[in-house]
């Protein structure tokens, strides 16, 4: 049996997505190993979650040379795959990590994506637009916001009476399934990127 895929998880906030990955790797639903966590802030609960799980954490605060220092921290982890999990900064992808960085977005891209579209802002925009469905998107990260090739999407209904919080909770449940599914597809070697299109074999 091959070794579990090694993950580096990048966070900037409370770490709910990180916790989902911790739980699923711990109980065997996801055959992966979180080899390290990189946080852009020291004072967020995601760091506490990582510490509680016994995961090595590197904090890289935003300052001059931020991207280079982030990737230096990631390289120390030696991951097979990098998972952005509530990472709040545009991070240019160096050549040696092209096609090895995933991000999850709380809407059905290409709708409701781009700069400034994160967290509650996304769900508010979905409701204001009057969309009848929302969901989440796992995509390969590139050098702009929310534009990389799409790997997994899951839909949820937008219900009458929803507010940003109720919609966010429903979308997050979809995220909890979508991100592990995407990681497993990569780990199983079933993913090929052809331009903007992701081809899944088998």
Residues with a known catalytic role: 105
Q: Which of 135, 43, 24, 127 lies closest to 83 in space, CA to CA?
A: 24
What phi and psi values does residue 106 have, to the nearest 5 degrees?
Answer: -85, 45
Distance CA 202, CA 183 (A): 16
Between β-strands 133-140 and 150-157, what pairing exists: parallel, antiparallel or unpaired? antiparallel
Rg of the chain's alpha carbons, rounded to an integer?
16
Hey, CA dihedral for 138, 139, 144, 147, is it positive or negative?
negative
**CA 202 – CA 189 distance, rounded (Å):** 10
């Amino acid at each position: 049996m091959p070794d579990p895929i090694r993950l580096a998880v990048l966070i900037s906030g409370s770490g709910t997505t990180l916790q989902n990955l911790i739980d699923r790797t711990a109980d065997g639903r996801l055959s992966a190993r979180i080899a390290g966590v990189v946080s852009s802030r020291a004072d967020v609960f995601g760091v506490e979650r990582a510490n509680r799980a016994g995961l090595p954490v590197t904090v890289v605060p935003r300052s001059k040379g931020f991207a280079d220092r982030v990737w230096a921290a990631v390289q120390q982890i030696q991951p097979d795959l990098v998972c952005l999990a509530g990472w709040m900064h545009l991070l240019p992808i160096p050549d040696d990590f092209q096609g090895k960085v995933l991000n999850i977005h709380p809407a059905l891209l290409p709708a409701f994506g781009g700069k400034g579209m994160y967290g509650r802002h996304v769900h508010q925009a979905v409701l204001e637009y009057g969309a009848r469905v929302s969901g989440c998107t796992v995509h390969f990260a590139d050098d702009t916001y929310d534009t990389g090739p799409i790997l997994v999407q899951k839909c949820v209904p937008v219900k009458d009476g929803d507010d940003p919080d109720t919609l966010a909770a429903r979308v997050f449940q979809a995220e909890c399934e979508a991100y592990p599914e995407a990681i497993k597809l990569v780990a199983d070697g079933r993913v090929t990127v052809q331009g903007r299109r992701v081809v899944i074999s088998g």
